[in-house]
């Protein structure tokens, strides 16, 4: 058997964890982190080594949905077998999906938690199941489900190693993010990122992509690549930057758009002015009128103070009388060409921009709406599929303002 240096397979951030496992310090190992952190690679190496060093032990690898097993944990364990140079000692089967250590008959069994009875029915002829791996553990329904599975698997042995791997969800309220904050004497929580992984393992392009995202959307970078919990998970716009937009910048803007969302008694009248940099896919929002109880006559007067050249405004077409009235007051205005998919289409367009820059002093209400706009939850605590139709008046005004750009963006056209 070829001698392999583990330092060539395990990133430095896992050295201490490897020693913990080697010295039987814990039972449950929770490994969280961002893209490219190699946590799954580390677990696969530990399981293959563990089975080969400990006769009479077996392993079970789990995903919430069984159909995902082959292309994830199964392939990952095959990778570990290959990298350790022990392929001649292992038998790989596809039906049923399993890996067998030929010298002893020890097995790695694969199961999906979408069929709990198949997990309860797992039996090994001799020895016991020492190693359990929950890949993408955040996909499971919570600790109650996992405890039931562990009660079925962790029997008949003196030492167990249970691995839980996941990329932390956005929301701190997610059960798995809360779970890893609880300290138990037999639990080790480990966080890793790509920054401690040798560059040649991931390839130069991986680092290029990471650095690009860091520049254009730091929040998304911190979540995706650093594995940080950056929000509730229900935020609709993760590409918003609050900063001052200077007079010098505004003087250079040459693609200025204007939109109106009507309101009066309860909902505010919202007028928004923005500049869309199509080349860099950046939106600058730098002027707003946002007021409850504002008549159309007063609104027209305020708009004329900003829109001195009387450039075209796109407004909510659901208010044809208000549009007609503003025309009588001398504004160039037209109704938006809304369709049944216009809200989803418009929000997707805004989400896909590299950056939405909002001046919080000039546009405090618009900044508040974009930053606080979140999906709502149902009675079971799951996010609803539809975008909420409240606290989105400036957002709607921006959608109307950018209507023509959206239609020419290459996204699926509105019906």
Q: Report the chain's terminal Cα–Cα distance, integer Å.
A: 63
Cα separations (Å) of 297 from 268, 307, 393? 15, 15, 19
Q: Which residues are catalytic?
A: 136
- In the numeric block, the tokens 């990778």 are attached to 79
- The bridge status of strand 256-261 relative to strand 97-101 is unpaired
> Measured between alpha carbons, how far is 37 from 11 in angstroms, rounded to an integer?
8
């Amino acid at each position: 058997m070829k001698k392999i240096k583990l330092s060539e397979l395990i990133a430095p951030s896992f050295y201490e964890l490897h020693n913990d496992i080697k010295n039987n310090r814990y039972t449950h190992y929770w490994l969280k982190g961002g893209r490219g952190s190699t946590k799954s690679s580390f677990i696969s190496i530990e399981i293959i080594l563990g089975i080969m060093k400990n006769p009479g032990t077996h392993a079970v690898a789990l995903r919430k949905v069984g159909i995902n097993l082959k292309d994830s944990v199964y392939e990952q364990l095959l990778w570990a077998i290959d990298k350790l140079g022990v392929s001649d000692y292992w038998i790989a089967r596809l039906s049923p999906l399993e890996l067998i250590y030929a010298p002893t008959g020890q097995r790695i069994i694969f199961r999906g938690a979408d069929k709990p009875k198949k997990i309860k029915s797992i039996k090994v002829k001799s020895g016991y199941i020492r190693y359990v791996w929950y890949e993408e553990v955040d996909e499971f329904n919570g600790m109650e489900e996992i405890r039931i599975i562990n009660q079925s698997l962790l029997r008949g042995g003196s030492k167990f190693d249970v691995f839980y791997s996941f990329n932390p969800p956005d929301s701190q309220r997610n059960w798995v993010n809360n779970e890893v904050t609880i300290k138990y004497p037999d639990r080790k929580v480990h966080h890793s990122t790509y920054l401690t992984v040798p560059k040649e393992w991931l390839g130069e392009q991986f680092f290029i992509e990471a650095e690009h995202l860091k520049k254009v959307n730091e929040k998304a970078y911190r979540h995706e690549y650093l594995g940080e919990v950056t929000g509730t998970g229900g935020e609709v716009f993760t590409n918003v930057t609050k900063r001052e937009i200077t007079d010098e910048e505004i003087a250079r803007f040459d693609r200025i758009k204007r939109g109106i969302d009507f309101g009066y008694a309860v909902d505010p009248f919202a007028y928004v002015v923005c500049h869309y940099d199509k080349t860099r896919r950046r939106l600058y929002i730098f002027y707003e009128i946002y007021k409850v109880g504002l008549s159309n006559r007063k609104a027209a007067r305020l708009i004329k103070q900003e829109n001195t050249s009387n450039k075209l405004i796109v407004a909510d077409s659901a208010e044809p009388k208000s549009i007609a009235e503003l025309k009588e007051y001398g504004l160039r205005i037209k109704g938006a060409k809304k369709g049944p998919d216009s809200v989803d289409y418009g929000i997707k367009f805004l989400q896909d921009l590299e950056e939405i820059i909002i001046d919080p002093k000039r546009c405090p209400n618009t900044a508040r709406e974009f930053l606080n706009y979140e999906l709502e939850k149902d009675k079971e605590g799951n996010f609803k599929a539809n975008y909420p139709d409240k606290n989105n008046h400036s957002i709607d005004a921006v959608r109307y303002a950018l209507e023509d750009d959206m239609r020419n963006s290459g996204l699926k056209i509105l019906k």
